Amino acid sequence: MPQILKIDSNVVSDQARKVLLQGGVIAFPTDTFYGLGVDPFNREAVDRVFEIKGREKNKPLLLLISAIEQLETLVKEITPAHSALMQKFWPGPLTLLFEPRSVIPENVSAGRIGIRQPGNSMTLNLISALGQPITAPSANLSGEEPPVTAEQVHRSLGNRVDLILDGGTCQGGEPSTLVDAAETPVRLVRPGAIPFSEIEMALRGNTQSVHPEVLR
């Protein structure tokens, strides 16, 4: 049975950091739902996430960062559209797709890598303490509703995870909006918490054009 560790938004657990650096899997609160965190540079740890969730291998994993400066070592290019959207919506529920550098393991990305800077202070503190990004797919079996409490995580995953950080109830609602801004035109990949109309507005006056295509 995994340990459920209560934690407030201003405290980061050394234990959580140790679990991650040792290749373990933690569940933790984000802006919307609880996510599964592992060291994204540890291939075996990443494989565990897919096994725990029963997730298809061709579905890339989202990475969370604590600061925009971390992007430099992760992605090949930050386009003008990326910059405009990060300035407007980060930290917050907007995931941007980038061309990954070779340091990103293949089992994390599928040609593109989704990255977000969350607004949840506990999550940001956790990433800062780790000193690198963490993965953040929802902490549930594939096909189930994403969990908003630590208890829901425990009911869904049981002892499949090594540590559950109980940061209270997440707000739930829509997932993060997913946008591919690596090429022109910018595309909506998955609708979510931020309406695409707001993204279009943020890009007006930018050199990038926008095409609101939702990929299925």
Tens-place pLDDT, residues 82-109: 999 999 999 999 999 999 999 998 889 8
CA torsion sign for 20, 25, 28, 30 is positive
Distance, CA of 95 to CA of 30 (rounded, Å): 13
149 lies in some domain: yes
pLDDT of residue 105: 87
pLDDT of residue 14: 82
pLDDT of residue 10: 55
- Three-class DSSP category at 68: helix
pLDDT of residue 214: 36
CATH number, domain containing residue 43: 3.90.870.10
206 has pLDDT over 80? no
pLDDT in tens, 175-193: 999 999 998 889 999 999 9
Comparing 4 with 9, the larger pLDDT belongs to 4
Domain range spanning residue 91? 3-211
pLDDT of residue 131: 87
90 lies in some domain: yes
Count of the separate structural domains present in the chain:
1
- Residue 1 pLDDT grade (very low, low, confident, very high; cuts 50, 70, 90): low
**Residues 198-202: what's their mean pLDDT?**
94
Q: Rounded mean pLDDT of the chain?
A: 89
46 lies in some domain: yes
For 211, counting Cβ atoms within 10 Å of its Cβ (0-12 exposed, 13-18 middle, 19+ buried), the class is exposed
69 lies in some domain: yes
216 lies in some domain: no
